[in-house]
Amino acid sequence: MSQLVRIRFTLNGRPQSVKVPPMKRLLDVLREDCRMTGTKEGCGEGECGACTVLIAGDPVNSCLVPAVHAEGAKITTVEGLAKNGKLSALQTAFIELGGAQCGMCTPGMLVTSAALLARTKGRVPGDAEVRDALSGTLCRCTGYQKIVEAVQAAAAPAPAKKKAAAVAKKAKPVAKKKVVAKKKVVAKKKAVAQKKAAASRAGRRPGASKQARRPAASQRRGRR
């Protein structure tokens, strides 16, 4: 048995304190120690994004993060999106527009989309921008179409309950240039260690930007 360490962090706005092995995956800490099973495991190797949570507002694959890295962090999971039982606009849009089918990718999709919408601050992101932001989270059910529509619908000013398709059309031209800028910033912030992983896939998956927010492969020791 490895030694246990005490780790403190904020989970969905509430202070948490757990005693766990330092290299335990954050995913397991959340699911087992904090009993928040909304965050899912789809691959355990940083590929599917089902385990995505927000750390300081940025999407991170929690299966690649060792517990020690969570010390002092502000973590948001899917359970933290509704406020006092009231669903966020994003959650409502996912239900109404068909963004969730089997639901396994949904927690990851929702927190990643929430991070995107926090960045765009009320501006409706374009089709390509949404697809790019979500490319680190795999969905096998929806073909992504309805997820993109739901994210765009949720970005529209609050009371407007327009059809997503209409929103999408209007939004397209505005967004494109800003995507590039954003991508560069994100990419710069991240460590060199990810480059290898990125290179192995970049050839096969043009446009997949998820590596940009994926912790290094060397952090994967926390795996079961």
Partner 1 sequence: MARSRTASPERPARKTITLPASVGVNVPRKDGRDKVTGAALYLDDLRVPGVLHGRTVRSTVANARIVSVTLDPAFDWTGMTVVDHRDIPGENCVAVIERDQPMLASTHVRHVDEPILLLAHEDAERVEAAVSAVKIEYEPLTPALNLEESLEKKALVRGDDNVFKTIRIERGDLDEAFVRSDRVIEGEYWCGHQEQLYIENNAMLAERTKDGGIHIRGSMQCPYYVHGALQVLLNLPPEKVRIEQTVTGGGFGGKEDYPSVIGGHAALLAWKSGRPVKIVYDRLEDLAATTKRHPARVRIKTGVMNDGTLVALDADVVMDGGAYLTLTPVVLSRGAIHAGGCYRWDAARIFARAVATNTPPNGAFRGFGAPQTLFAIESHMDRIAAELGMDPLALRRKNAVKLGDVTPTGQVLKESVGSHEVLERTAKRAKYAEKRARYERENAAAEAAERAGKGAKDGRRLRRGIGMALAMHGAGFTGSGESKLNSLAALDLTPDGRPCVRISNTEIGQGTNTVFGQIVGEVLGIPHEQVLVHVPDTDHVPDSGPTVASRTLMVVGGLIEKCAKKMKEKLELFAEHPIEGGADFARIAKRWLKERGPLRVEQRYQKPTGIEWDDDTYQGDAYGVFAYAAIAVEVEVDLDTAETKLLHVTTAQDIGRAIHPVLCAGQIEGGTLQGLGWALMEEVRHKDGKVWNHQLTNYIIPTSADAPPIDVEIVEIPYSNGPWGAKGVGELPMDVPAPAVIAAIAHATGCRLDEIPATPERLMRALQRRGA
| Site for ligand FES, rule CB under 6 A | 41-44, 46-51, 61, 63, 100-106, 139-142
Applying the rule CB under 8 A, the residues between 133 and 192 that interact with partner 1 are 134-148, 165
Q: Which stretch binds partner 1 (CB under 8 A): 36-44, 65-73, 114-122, 188-196?
A: 36-44
3-class DSSP state of 161: coil
Which structure tokens are listed for 13? 């706005």
CB of 199 to partner 1, least distance (A): 12
DSSP state of 215: P
Exactly one of 11, 44, 59, 214 binds partner 1 (CB under 8 A); that residue is: 44
- Bridge partner residues of 83 (DSSP): 86
DSSP string across 30-87? IIIIS--TTS--S-SSSSS-TTEEEETTEEEEGGG-BGGGGTT-EEE-GGGSSBTTBP
Which structure tokens are listed for 135? 């490319």
Yes or no: say if 66 and 25 are a contact pair by the CB < 8 Å rule.
yes
Q: Residue 22 touches which of ligand FES, partner 1, none (CB < 5 to 8 A by kind)?
A: none
Is 100 among the residues that bind partner 1 (CB under 8 A)?
yes
- Residue 188 or 224: the one with the smaller Cβ distance to partner 1 is 224
Ramachandran angles phi, psi of 2, nearest 5°: -75, 160
Q: Residue 38 touches which of partner 1, ligand FES, none (CB < 5 to 8 A by kind)?
A: partner 1
> Where do contacts with partner 1 occur on this chain (CB under 8 A)?
31, 35-45, 47-48, 50, 77-79, 81-82, 87, 91, 94-98, 100-107, 110, 127, 130-132, 134-148, 165, 200-201, 203-210, 224
